Structure formats: structure tokens, C-alpha cells
Chains A and B, each alone.
Chain A
Amino acid sequence: MKLLVIEDDAETSAYVARGLREQGHTVDVAESGQDGLFLATAAEHDVLIVDRMLPGLDGIGLVQALRSTGVRAPILFLTALGGVGDRVRGLDAGGDDYLVKPFAFAELLARVNALARRPPLNDSPTQLCAGDLAMDLLKRTVTRAGRPVDLQPREFQLLEHLLRNKDRVVTRTMLLEAVWDFHFDPRTNIVETHISRLRSKISGGDGTELIHTLRGSGYVLRSPT
């Protein structure tokens, strides 16, 4: 993927760019809002990673300018401002996701991947599946190898989120936001316990695991090969 990082702190942008390049992405780096605006309009990028506080043109102004010039690439805000109001302002300005500093690189990577392959809004499938696991979004039913699986509403949401992000890493924080709408980090194992319950409910007789834990980064749902 081709990514653009707009961040004035040299150390942060070097850390982010290095990590993303190691993952095989092409990364452009801009150190100010003006440079970022120029680079973003000069070439197409798959995802833009924008710092909220930039010299010259700040993050919000930059994103508004980008959106008004027709740049449609998904935008991930990086910020030290983690308040509810700040997040809402960022998303209102045209951002797609929000990551509060300091962050783990795995979290950034997972969010960038999720943004890059986010399906267009009009593409809303009624069926999601992975291997012999099938989810019917209209009837709200789940079957594993044809056998119905009885899920609580929250477990259904959790599985739906994992299926929509099939083969992509989904972090604990992303799940907390998407499934519970918790925008803080509870010091308990809410996600872990729900995942483990979900795993046992959808486990097939043959013991093939669909939901995999990636230590230190999150979870991924993969079709069995």
C-alpha cells in the first residue's frame, strides 16, 4: 500500500514510517500541514496518517482542506488529545479513525489495515462466512458446518466485527470501541473473556480454530486453509 504520514515530530514519523515500510508499504512523509496537503493532492494514497497538532496548517484544517479538494483516501488521526470532544471534532472534520498517543505500533498497523480495506459503504453483504462458519445478517443467525450456533447479541456483534475484518488483525481497543462503544481502556479482561466464550461456542467438532490470538496486538479471524 502507499501511505502518507503527516507528522511534525521527526522521531514519531521515523518510527511509524520504518514500521510501515517493514510491513512492505510505501511511505511518504510530510513534516507540516502545507507539505502534507501538497503530497496528498499530488499523488494517490491508500491511507493518510495525520497528526492533530501540526505547525502551520493544523490537522483539522488540513483534513477539511483535503476533503474539500476531493481527496477521498481514508484518514487516521494521530493525537495526544484524547478527550471525547477532540475525537468528535476530528471525525467531524472528515477523519475516519482516531488513535491516541502513545500507541502500540501493532494498534496503528491494525487500524491502517482496517481503513485501507474498509469496504465502500454501499457494499453491505447479507452473508458473511469463513470456512464452514456462516453468518446471516438479516436473520441474525450463525451456523457452523450447518449446525446452528446460539449467540448472545453482544457475541453476535463481536463475531460480525471479526468476520467483516476477516484475515485482518483487530485489536482489543478496536473491539471495545466497535462492540461495546467503550472509548477507554478497562483494566479487566472483558474482550478476552468474550472471545474465549465465542470461541467455545463456534468451535467445530474437528477442533479447527477460526479466531487466533496474536500476542501483544489482538485477534484475527482466518478461514481454515
Chain B
Amino acid sequence: MLGIAVLIAARTALQQQVQARIDSELSFLGREYSQGGLDHLLDLVRTRGRGASALDYLVQARDGRHLAGEMPTIAGLRPGWMEIVVAETTEDGGRPERDMARVVALDGGALLAVGTDLGQLGDVEEAVVTAFAWTVSLAALLGIGGGVWLSRAFLRRVDAIARTAEGIIAGDLTRRVPTGGTGDDLDRLAATLNRMLDRIATLMESLHQVSSDVAHDLRTPLTRLYQRLEEARASASTITDYEAAVDSAVAEADGLLQTFASLLRIAQVEGASPTAGFTAVDLSALAETVADAYQLDIEAQGYRLATAIDSDITIRGDRELLTQAFANVVENALRHTPPGTLIRIELHARANGGSCISVSDNGPGVSADDLPKLVLRFYRGEHSRTTPGSGLGLSLAHAVAELHGACLEIGSLNPGLRVQFVFPAFSAQ
């Protein structure tokens, strides 16, 4: 298409150029004729015909006689553009020449024709076509070669991704897609895939963790339940015995269900997509509600409660989960410290626009070794083996914090422990 367009354009330009030349020659000869008469014209034509000019001439009388010029006489020569076959056989037996010529009638009745060899035009066309053909073939060659090279490089990398995927399908979740380090589209895709794989690995890990936790830690209370029922069947003899056995079995089952509910909740939170169902949560009101809910309980058990809650702190989040997570932390403080302990509930805005809600106590605290283990599922410190609780409270708090992009920080106070949720700055949209 492009070749044809170029060819047509070149031909048109050449033709116009040749026609302009013929036109100007004709108007020159016309002027000479009107000034010097026919003989002067014939002289001129003869001289110019022999010259180096590429133009061919013909002066033909009205009755068809040849007066001058190298073109042969032509019957029916009329003014205007026409093609004239110059049946001239050159000495080397070349092909007959075809001229494009313009004919004008002179005042005296003679006809003057000026033409040029069409073969010249053809030569130029040929040159254009040849040059074009070369260019196109070269471009095609380069294009195909480059394309093959590029696609082979591309396919190699796609193959690498496919191999990684196959490896993962075969069960090796540690495999990651290699990156070329060039930062191109494929690299970006690889990086995204790797992040997806990281996320999947985390989820799988947590799933695995939950199932092994369940297997290990629910077995104990289930065994206790089973033993109590068995003992009741073997040795209970009075209604009171049976009632006591049933009551303790119900309490044990209740504890089991609680543990299950907590595990499910944690799994749900860990698997939840962040921000789905998030609304604006008045953290100040939430802290007040929790403090208010536990105040009586805290005081009734001989503890002391102090609160310092900044007002008008709002974040985006899941209010119910945040309430439960924070309540868990308060209950944790209450459960793992002796009566008389001062429990502080605080909520403060931070300079960076974030906020921080914390529960601290001045109780015995936790040894530095145990601090990082507190958020593990079912983890219970040596001293709390005998206190009630499933060891899931802080795990849930941790999962909820992660869901909110917050950080659950647990630190020693000497004496005591502080658990705080540090929320990042929250934009108000």
C-alpha cells in the first residue's frame, strides 16, 4: 500500500515536472516563432534537437509534411497532450521509444510538438520501486528477526512463570516467579504474582496453624468432657451426682464452643478482605463503652480502673470486631493480674494523625522472652495455665489490628504490661 502510494506520488511529481518543462519549451518556441517566423523556428528546432536536451521535436506542415525535428510525422496530429510512438530502432536494437508530447497549432497552420521519452519516467519509477523493495525487504527481515528474538525471550520468561506455577501446583508453595530486574511489564506482573503467592502462603499457613491448633488444644478439654461423663456413668448413684456431672459437662462443652467460636472468628478476620464493610467508627465512644461496661466488674473484683480517653477520635473499621478485640485486651488484663492492680484504659490522638488505644496494668507483667509469644494461638504463659481462658484473646486482637492496618504493640512497663493498638493516620473520606 505504502509502496503504491509512494510510486504514484513520485510518478505524478515527475510527470508534472516533465509537463512543466514541455510547457515552458513550447511557450519559448511560440514566442520565437511569432518574432522570427517559421524558418527561424525550424532552425531553432534543428539546433535544439541536436543539443543535449532530452526533448524531442516535430514541426509538421498542415498537409502532413515533415518540416523539422526527430520525431516522425504523424497523421491526425491534433493540439493537446498525446503519446507518440517514435518508431526509431536504435543501433543496438533497443525497444521503440514512446514519447509523451504536447502539440500546439502555429498561426501559419503548421503544428509544433515537443515531447520527451516516457522511458525516462519509467527509469525513475523503476529506481523508486527497486529502492522501495530493498527497504521493505530489509525492514521485514529486521522485523521478523527482532520479533523472533523478542518472542523467544518473552516465551522463555513466560515458561519460567509457568514452571513456577507448576511447581506450586505440585505443592511447593515456597517457589516464586523469577524477575528479570528490568522493571518491564513482565517484571511488574511477576512482582504482583509473587505478592499474591505470599498472601496465599500466609493464608495456607494460618489454615494449617488453625487445624493443628484445633487438633492439639481441643483434645484436652474434649478428653476432660469424655472422662467426666464416663465417670458419671460408672459411679454416679444419686440425682445430685448426675446433676453435678451434667453441669460440669455442660460447662466444659460451653468452653469448647467458645473456643471454636473464637477460632472461627480469628480465621474469618484473617481471611477477610480489609475495608470490606468498614464504616466510620467513633473510637472514643467505643473506648468509653468498653470502659463503662467493665468498670463495675473491675471494681467488684477489687481492681482499680483509670481512664484517659480523648474525645472525637474516629477511624474507619469494623466496630464490632474492634469492640471485641479491645474488650479481649481488657479482659486479659483483668484475668492475668492479681486484685488491687490498677488498669488504665487510654485513647490518644497521635501527632501524625493516627491514634493509639491502650490497656495497661501495674501487675506482674510478662517476661521479655514471652512477650512475642503472647499473640500466638492457644499460647498461655506458665503462670496462667491455671486461670480460665482459651489463649485466643490476644490472637484475635492481633488479627483485628492487622485487618485495620494497625499495629498491636505489647510492651513491659516495669512493673506491668501495656497492650496498645496503634492506628495509622486515617483520611476522612
Using a CB–CB cutoff of 8 Å, the interface residues on chain A facing chain B are: 82-85, 88, 102, 154, 180-190, 193-194, 197
Q: How far is the CA of A187 from the CA of B388 in the complex (A)?
A: 9
Q: How far is the CA of A25 from the CA of B77 in the complex (A)?
A: 122
Question: Which of chain B's residues have a CB closer than 8 A to the CB of A183?
Answer: 320, 324
Given contacts A82-B261, A83-B268, A187-B331, contact A193 B297 (CB under 8 A): yes
User: Number of B residues whose C-beta is below 8 Å from A?
Assistant: 25
Whether the Cβ atoms of A102 and B257 lie closer than 8 Å is: yes
Q: How far is the CA of A41 from the CA of B330 in the complex (A)?
A: 48
B273 vs chain A, min Cβ distance (A) = 11
* Max count, chain B CB within 10 A of own CB: residue among A182, A184, A189, A197: A184
Q: How far is the CA of A83 from the CA of B289 in the complex (A)?
A: 21
B238 vs chain A, min Cβ distance (A) = 20
Given contacts A82-B261, A84-B277, A84-B318, contact A184 B324 (CB under 8 A): yes
Q: How far is the CA of A189 from the CA of B261 in the complex (A)?
A: 19
Given contacts A84-B277, A193-B297, contact A186 B327 (CB under 8 A): yes
Whether the Cβ atoms of B323 and A182 lie closer than 8 Å is: yes
Q: How far is the CA of A180 from the CA of B324 in the complex (A)?
A: 11
Q: A185-B261, A186-B327 given. 11 additional CB < 8 A pairs?
A: A84-B277, A84-B321, A85-B277, A154-B292, A154-B293, A180-B289, A182-B324, A183-B320, A184-B265, A190-B297, A194-B296
Q: How far is the CA of A88 from the CA of B321 in the complex (A)?
A: 14
Question: Which of chain A's residues have a CB closer than 8 A to the CB of B323?
Answer: 181-182, 184
Whether the Cβ atoms of B258 and A188 lie closer than 8 Å is: no
Question: Which of chain A's residues have a CB closer than 8 A to the CB of B388?
Answer: 187
The answer, among A84, A102, A180, A185, for a CB contact under 8 Å with B293, is A180
Q: Is B379 an interface residue (CB 8 A)?
A: no
- Would you mind naming 16 contact pairs between A and B with Cβ atoms under 8 Å apart? A83-B268, A84-B277, A154-B293, A180-B293, A181-B323, A182-B293, A182-B324, A182-B327, A184-B261, A184-B323, A184-B327, A185-B261, A187-B258, A187-B389, A193-B297, A197-B296
Question: Which of chain B's residues have a CB closer than 8 A to the CB of A188?
Answer: 294, 297, 331, 334
Given contacts A84-B318, A85-B277, contact A185 B297 (CB under 8 A): no
Question: Which of chain B's residues have a CB closer than 8 A to the CB of A85?
Answer: 277
Question: Which of chain B's residues have a CB closer than 8 A to the CB of A182?
Answer: 293, 323-324, 327
Q: Which residue of B lies closest to A87 (CB)?
A: B320
Question: Which of chain B's residues have a CB closer than 8 A to the CB of A181?
Answer: 289, 323
Question: Which of chain A's residues have a CB closer than 8 A to the CB of B261?
Answer: 82, 184-185
Q: Which residue of A lies closest to B277 (CB)?
A: A85
Whether the Cβ atoms of B296 and A82 lie closer than 8 Å is: no
Q: How far is the CA of A88 from the CA of B277 in the complex (A)?
A: 10
Question: Which of chain A's residues have a CB closer than 8 A to the CB of B324?
Answer: 182-184
Question: Which of chain B's residues have a CB closer than 8 A to the CB of A88?
Answer: 277
A118 vs chain B, min Cβ distance (A) = 23
Q: Is B52 an interface residue (CB 8 A)?
A: no
Q: Is B428 an interface residue (CB 8 A)?
A: no
Whether the Cβ atoms of B297 and A84 lie closer than 8 Å is: no
Q: Which residue of A lies closest to B299 (CB)?
A: A193
Q: How far is the CA of A178 from the CA of B335 in the complex (A)?
A: 26
Given contacts A180-B289, A181-B289, A193-B297, contact A186 B331 (CB under 8 A): yes
Q: Which residue of A lies closest to B260 (CB)?
A: A102
Q: How far is the CA of A183 from the CA of B324 in the complex (A)?
A: 8
Q: Which residue of B lies closest to A216 (CB)?
A: B250
Q: How far is the CA of A189 from the CA of B298 in the complex (A)?
A: 10
Q: How far is the CA of A208 from the CA of B27 in the complex (A)?
A: 135
Q: Is B264 an interface residue (CB 8 A)?
A: yes
Q: Is B300 an interface residue (CB 8 A)?
A: yes
Whether the Cβ atoms of A193 and B296 lie closer than 8 Å is: yes
Question: Which of chain B's residues have a CB closer than 8 A to the CB of A83?
Answer: 265, 268
B429 vs chain A, min Cβ distance (A) = 22
* Max count, chain A CB within 10 A of own CB: residue among B292, B296, B335: B296
Q: Which residue of B lies closest to A195 (CB)?
A: B296
Q: How far is the CA of A183 from the CA of B327 in the complex (A)?
A: 11
Q: Which residue of A lies closest to B247 (CB)?
A: A216
Q: How far is the CA of A188 from the CA of B293 in the complex (A)?
A: 10
* Max count, chain A CB within 10 A of own CB: residue among B289, B297, B323: B297
A54 vs chain B, min Cβ distance (A) = 21
B337 vs chain A, min Cβ distance (A) = 14
Q: How far is the CA of A82 from the CA of B321 in the complex (A)?
A: 12
A131 vs chain B, min Cβ distance (A) = 25
B343 vs chain A, min Cβ distance (A) = 12
Q: Which residue of B lies closest to A84 (CB)?
A: B320
Question: Which of chain A's residues have a CB closer than 8 A to the CB of B257?
Answer: 102
Question: Which of chain A's residues have a CB closer than 8 A to the CB of B300?
Answer: 189, 193
Q: Which residue of B lies closest to A189 (CB)?
A: B297
Q: How far is the CA of A187 from the CA of B258 in the complex (A)?
A: 9
Q: How far is the CA of A189 from the CA of B301 in the complex (A)?
A: 10
Question: Which of chain A's residues have a CB closer than 8 A to the CB of B293?
Answer: 154, 180, 182, 186, 190
